[in-house]
């Protein structure tokens, strides 16, 4: 089984790698400037300028990630020109520095191997330097080092917005269409226009039930009303239901959150349930609070509910699934992990922060007759970059 690590630990590791990457680029930039034939004054000023640029990009990226920026509906030009570059630099610099370090190690090992071979073969004189080959290798290394920045830019500008509609057919005991939207993360990287686009897509899918499974905001409560106003435009036949995520608890009080959801007439199922009567019989939608930052109580959410009624459970995090299966809940819907958000797919399996943190990073899981589906969601957190983890709007055809 893959080693599971606490998500906070992974974040500290990433922060440490980011700091080391900035140091690495500054040291090598200063070394390159120092080897030039320019004046000492130019070299000094250029080194300071490069250091200031690297420091500014890093500080801006860190500030955007951890501090609320309550700029509602910032223009696209501001997002592209001010918010995106630090994010692209922050992520790209980590992987670029890793590539350069690994390349230097590989080159060093290669040179050592050549020296050992020459010694064993009795050849003391080195081979003539092949200038063309050296230039080719340098160009190749430069291309590899630039690739993370290119991919980060692609992940921020396109891949984070190129969503898909994921459709699944699952047994439930009632025939209906359920649409799930999760991890919207309204903020400077998810503006009102983009949220409206997702709401329009949900409307086009004509759901009988529309469910929202947490993390409506990124890092400020000022974005929640606009997000819920767009979600309230969806008119599902049997209603819209929501549960809270960790970001709501980080930046808002429960009473404040409940009041805003009431204002937009979206039922917030916080350790509670609601029974819906249909022509084919009743079913229930239950919801629990976030498993880590809230006060989750599955027993309270199901209290008084007839065990023969099919129940749809909403939970921001998927780790409730074994308990839900023990209660005989046929379908649990969750999110939180964004499918890894930045994921590397290898023959042996997928690797991402989510895949290192939980046994339920994305997709469909089953325990006996119970199913869990973990959506990749539509928003991003900490960085606006998505790679190999497309945003999704999920349509369930329940039978």
Q: CATH number of 165-398: 3.40.50.2000, 1.10.3720.10, 3.40.50.1370, 3.60.21.10? A: 3.60.21.10
Contact between 244 and 268 under an 8 Å Cβ cutoff? The reply is yes
Element (H, E) at 183: none
In this predicted structure, which of 69-73, 130-134, 374-378, 388-392 has the lowest mean pLDDT? 130-134
pLDDT at 7 over 70: no
For β-strands 392-398 and 344-346, DSSP reports them as: unpaired
Distance (Å, whole) CA 185 – CA 268: 17
Distance (Å, whole) CA 263 – CA 260: 5
pLDDT-derived band at 104 (thresholds 50, 70, 90) equals: confident
Distance (Å, whole) CA 185 – CA 376: 12
Convert 278-291 to b/e letters by CB count within 10 Å (16 or more is b): eeeeebbbbbbbbb
User: Using N-to-C axis directions, what is the helix angle for 254-263 and 224-231, rounded to 10°?
Assistant: 40
For β-strands 392-398 and 164-170, DSSP reports them as: parallel
Q: Is 154 exposed, middle or buried (0-12, 13-18, 19+ CB in 10 A)?
A: middle
pLDDT-derived band at 2 (thresholds 50, 70, 90) equals: very low
Report DSSP state, residue 343: -
Distances (CA, A) of 145 to 32, 110, 140, 321: 16, 19, 9, 41
Distance (Å, whole) CA 332 – CA 354: 19
Report DSSP state, residue 126: P
Q: Which of 110, 98, 100 is nearest to 31 (CA)?
A: 100
Where are the alpha helices (H) located in 155-280, listed in sequence order? 192-204, 224-231, 246-251, 254-263
pLDDT digits (tens, 9 = 90+) for 212-262: 999 999 999 999 999 999 999 999 999 999 999 999 999 999 999 999 999
Report DSSP state, residue 205: T
* Half-sphere exposure in the Cβ direction for 257 (13 Å, CA): 24
User: Which tokens go with 178?
Assistant: 């359920």
Residue partners of 104: CB distance under 8 A and separation at least 6: none
* Half-sphere exposure in the Cβ direction for 115 (13 Å, CA): 6
Contact between 260 and 217 under an 8 Å Cβ cutoff? The reply is no
User: Which tokens go with 287?
Assistant: 């919801």
User: Which tokens go with 339?
Assistant: 């499918």
What percentage of the chain has pLDDT greater than the value 90? 77
pLDDT-derived band at 3 (thresholds 50, 70, 90) equals: very low
pLDDT-derived band at 12 (thresholds 50, 70, 90) equals: confident
Rounded to 10 degrees, what is the CA torsion of 14, 19, 21, 25? 160
pLDDT at 117 over 80: no
How confident is the model at residue 98, as a pLDDT? 92
pLDDT digits (tens, 9 = 90+) for 267-317: 999 999 999 999 999 999 999 999 999 999 999 999 999 999 999 999 999
| Strand residue runs (E) in the chain | 164-170, 176-181, 209-213, 240-243, 272-276, 283-287, 311-314, 331-334, 344-346, 349-351, 363-367, 370-374, 392-398
User: Which tokens go with 101?
Assistant: 């370090």
Report DSSP state, residue 129: P
**Structural domain boundaries in the chain:** 7-159, 165-398
- Mean pLDDT of the 392-396 span: 98
How confident is the model at residue 73, as a pLDDT? 86
pLDDT at 131 over 80: no
């Amino acid at each position: 089984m893959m080693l599971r690590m606490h998500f906070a630990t992974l974040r500290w590791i990433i922060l440490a790698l980011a700091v080391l990457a900035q140091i690495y680029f500054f040291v090598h930039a200063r070394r390159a400037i120092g080897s030039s034939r320019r004046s000492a004054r130019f070299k000094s000023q250029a080194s300071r300028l490069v250091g200031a640029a690297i420091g500014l990009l890093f500080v801006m990226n860190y500030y955007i990630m951890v501090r609320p920026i309550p700029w509602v509906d910032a223009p696209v030009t501001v997002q592209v020109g001010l918010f995106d570059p630090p994010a692209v630099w922050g992520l790209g610099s980590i992987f670029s520095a890793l590539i350069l370090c690994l390349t230097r190690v590989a080159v060093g090992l290669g040179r050592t191997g050549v020296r050992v071979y020459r010694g064993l073969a009795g050849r003391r004189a080195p081979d003539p330097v092949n200038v063309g080959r050296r230039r080719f290798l340098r160009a190749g290394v430069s291309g590899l080092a630039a690739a993370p920045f290119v991919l980060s830019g692609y992940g921020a500008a396109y891949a984070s917005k190129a969503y898909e509609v994921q459709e699944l057919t699952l047994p439930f005991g009632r025939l209906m269409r359920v649409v799930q939207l999760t991890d919207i993360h309204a903020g400077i990287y998810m503006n009102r226009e983009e949220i409206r686009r997702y709401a329009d897509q949900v409307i086009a899918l004509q759901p009988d039930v529309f469910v929202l499974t947490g993390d409506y905001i990124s890092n400020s409560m000022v974005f929640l009303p606009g997000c819920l106003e767009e979600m309230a435009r969806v008119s599902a036949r049997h209603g819209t239901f929501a549960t809270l995520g960790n970001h709501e608890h980080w930046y808002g009080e429960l009473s404040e959150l409940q009041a805003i959801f009431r204002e937009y007439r979206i039922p917030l199922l916080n350790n509670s349930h609601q029974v819906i009567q249909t022509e084919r019989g009743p079913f229930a939608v239950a919801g629990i609070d976030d498993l880590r930052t809230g006060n989750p109580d599955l027993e309270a959410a199901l209290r008084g509910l007839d065990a023969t009624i099919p129940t749809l459970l909403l939970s921001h995090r998927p780790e409730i699934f074994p308990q839900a299966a023990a209660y005989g809940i046929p379908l649990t819907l969750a999110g939180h992990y964004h499918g890894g958000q930045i994921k590397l797919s290898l023959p042996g399996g997928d690797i991402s922060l989510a895949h290192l943190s939980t046994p339920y990073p994305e997709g469909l899981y089953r325990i006996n007759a119970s199913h869990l589906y973990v959506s990749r969601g539509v928003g991003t957190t900490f960085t606006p970059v998505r790679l190999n983890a497309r945003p999704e709007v999920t349509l369930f055809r329940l039978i």
